[in-house]
Every structure is written in structure tokens, then in C-alpha cells.
Amino acid sequence: MNYASAYALIDSDMYRSGTNWEIPPRPSQSKIKMPTQHIQALVPNYQKVSEEAYEEFKCRFNELVGRWTEEVEDMSSFSDMVLHQDYRTISGMGPRAIRLLLKELQTRPHFWFDALRTILLADGEDVDPVDNADRGDLRKMSDAWIEWGKTEGYI
Amino acid sequence: MRLNPVNFPRAETEGYFETSPQSRFYNCIAWAAGDNTRPWWPNSQMAHWPKDVPSKVTVYAFLCLFRSLDYENCQNGSLEKGFEKVAIYALNNVVKHAAIQLSNGHWSSKIGIDNIDVEHVTLEALEGPQYGKVVRFLRRPIKKS
């Protein structure tokens, strides 16, 4: 294995292993055969690289959230809100964004529920913890997702 | 708080003022329907929409929505004694907004999902690139309380 392929494994392995990350391990879904310590041995400054990469990821996430929030402020249309480029980008950021989205729901609730569902669907999980009667209720929908996140160990 | 002149280029000249602070708990359709607890929008798992109304973002679906709330079609937005009115804004037949008429003939709107409520003197005040133009009017008798 060369550095390039080892680096390519880092991202998914870091997410799934939880090593030095805030996301808990999900061994049942791990597709990675190479243990983290082997990658660490192959890649110099593994810890530093991973922390920097995650900080960069969070920075990018926060930038997209801030811009989307500002740009949809005047939109009444939920169709337009979720079709906004930044919302779509966040929805495509993969499972690493789940914990960050749940944190957003805890601190500044907004309509991130479609993004969460899209990420989970792309990861093979069809999840929707919201009762039909609560559709639209930002507080109740946020609470349902936060509870789900706690149950699943994301927060 | 002032409205964004890029989205609402005629707001300042037509006249408006803020009536409620910024909120993201409801949107314009909910406001026009008399609900300030949750947004209303078709074809979304994140918003409320009545089950017996077509769940599409078309003018027809919104006409069905307001008809289910006892509104009927009408010709214009002039003040009619004994009636309250709703105006539907659309861009290329895609609904973007709704405003409800006040007893003084002005209009009331919740701006977006995350902005203020405003009273605007004319419907033209909110026309522009964000909401398009008013395409339909509906009215219903004012209920005596």
C-alpha cells in the first residue's frame, strides 16, 4: 500500500473507528479491513493530518450552514430551500456531517431534517424518527432527531 | 429590520413596516392560513400540508388549499366589506408566497421561513425576483366572533 491509497482509507476509517473523532464507532457497518493502527504506521503525522482534516471539514460545514441560513431567509418555499446549492452540498457531505447537523439542531434548530435523511439514505439507512403529526413543528422535529442521535450514539 | 432590496426591490417605495420579529417556526402559507406554529408547504416531509389537498407546488394546489379553508376565487385584491382575501404570488406558475388582507385594505405577510412579519400597503411591495407576481386572489366571509 502506498501513501495515496492509505490516505484514501483514512477518511472512512476515521469516521467509522471514532479514533480521535467525536463520532462514535459503528463497527457493525465498517467496511474497512485495515485497522487504524496499520494506517497510522503507514502515514506519518497521522493524528495531525486527521485533526487538521476534520477541522477543515467543520470549517467548510459551518461556512455552508451560515450562507444557506442567510440566503434562504426570505424563501417561503421548502422546495427552494432544499434545492439550494449549499443544502445539497451539505446533504452530500456524508455521515461525518450527521453529528454536526444534530449539534445544529441542539443549538440553532433549522430545517436540516431532509439533509439528515438524505445522508442516511445514501449510507443505506432509511431513518425518519418524526411522527407524522409533528411534521413542520421545528421544536418537535428537532427533539425527535436529537433523541435518535442520542440513541444511535452520535451525541 | 429592513427587507433585502435585492429580493424586494419595490418594498421601500411601496411601503411596509415590521409587525412581528424574526421567526423560523412558520411561513407565509401558515400565516395566511392562521397558523403560526408550523410552516405549511406541499410535498415536504418538513412542513405541514393537509392530507386532502394536492401536494404539489402549483397554483392549482394552493387554490385547493385555500378553498379547503372556505375561500373562493375572486377577481382582485380590492377591499370588500365582509370579506377577507388572500393573494397568491408565483413565478412561472410555481407558488412562492401568499399574503392576507387586513381590515384596513393593507396586506400582511410572513417573509420567508426565517424572517419577520410585515404589513405592506400594496401587493406590489413584495413583487420581484423572490416571489414573482400576484397571480390569483381568493376571498371568504369574515367570521363573526
Q: Which three cell numbers stand for residue A22?
A: 467525536
Asked if residue A56 and residue A112 are part of one domain, the reply reads: yes
pLDDT value for A43: 65
Q: Which of A72, A76, A137 to mutate to test the interface with B (most CBs of B within 10 A)?
A: A76
**Owning domain of residue A8:** 3-32
Please report residues of A whose CB lies closer than 8 A to that of B113: 72-73, 75-76, 78, 81, 111
CA distance B47 to chain A (A): 4
B44 and A82 within 8 Å at the Cβ level: the answer is yes
Q: What is the ipTM of this complex?
A: 0.90
CA distances from A28 to A18, A24, A25, A32, B38 (A): 13, 12, 9, 11, 37
- Quote the mean pLDDT of chain A: 82
- H helices of chain A, in order, are 3-17, 36-42, 46-71, 78-83, 85-91, 96-107, 113-122, 138-151
Over residues A52-57, the mean pLDDT reads 90
User: By the 8 A CB rule, do B38 and A137 touch?
Assistant: yes
CA-angle at B8, arms to B7 and B9, nearest 5°: 110
Asked if residue A25 and residue A55 are part of one domain, the reply reads: no
Asked if residue A81 and residue A11 are part of one domain, the reply reads: no
Q: Is residue A148 part of a domain?
A: yes
A136 and B47 within 8 Å at the Cβ level: the answer is yes
Chain B contacts to A (CB-CB under 8 A): 3-4, 7-8, 24-25, 27-30, 37-41, 43-49, 57, 94-98, 110-115, 130-131
Model confidence at A12, pLDDT cuts 50, 70, 90, reads very low
Within 8 A by CB and 6+ apart from A154, the residues are A23, A24, A98, A99, A102
Q: Answer whether residue A55 shows pLDDT above 80.
A: yes
pLDDT value for B143: 83
Interface A-B: count of C-beta contacts within 8 A? 90
- DSSP code, position B128: B
Asked if residue A57 and residue A16 are part of one domain, the reply reads: no
A76 and B47 within 8 Å at the Cβ level: the answer is no
Model confidence at A10, pLDDT cuts 50, 70, 90, reads very low
Task: Name the residue with cell 443549538.
Answer: A107
pLDDT value for A33: 56
Task: Name the residue with cell 381568493.
Answer: B138
Asked if residue A76 and residue A147 are part of one domain, the reply reads: yes
CA distance A9 to chain B (A): 35
Cα-Cα-Cα-Cα torsion A139, A140, A143, A145, nearest 10 degrees, comes to: -110
Query: Least CB-CB distance to B112: which of A76, A135, A137?
Result: A76
Query: Least CB-CB distance to B114: which of A73, A114, A136?
Result: A73
pLDDT value for A37: 64
User: By the 8 A CB rule, do A8 and A44 touch?
Assistant: no
User: By the 8 A CB rule, do A34 and A41 touch?
Assistant: no
Over residues A104-109, the mean pLDDT reads 97
Q: Is residue A41 part of a domain?
A: no
Q: Is residue A127 part of a domain?
A: yes
Please report residues of A whose CB lies closer than 8 A to that of B92: none
pLDDT value for A18: 43
Q: Is residue A7 part of a domain?
A: yes
Q: Is residue A74 part of a domain?
A: yes
A74 and B96 within 8 Å at the Cβ level: the answer is no
Asked if residue A58 and residue A22 are part of one domain, the reply reads: no
What DSSP letter does each residue of A107-147 carry, written as one string?
HS--S-HHHHHHHHHHTT-------GGGTT-HHHHHHHHHH
Over residues A41-47, the mean pLDDT reads 65
Give every residue of chain B whose pLDDT is below 50, as ranges. Answer: none
CA distance A134 to B89: 27
For residue B24, give the nearest of A86, A28, A76, A100 by alpha carbon.
Answer: A76
pLDDT value for A57: 95
CA distance A29 to A43: 24
Q: Is residue A147 part of a domain?
A: yes
CA distance B135 to B9: 19
Could you state, in order of their start, the residue ranges of all structural domains in chain B?
Answer: 11-141
- The number of folded domains in chain A is 2
A114 and B44 within 8 Å at the Cβ level: the answer is yes
Strand partners, B98: B88
CA distance A21 to chain B (A): 30
Asked if residue A64 and residue A22 are part of one domain, the reply reads: no
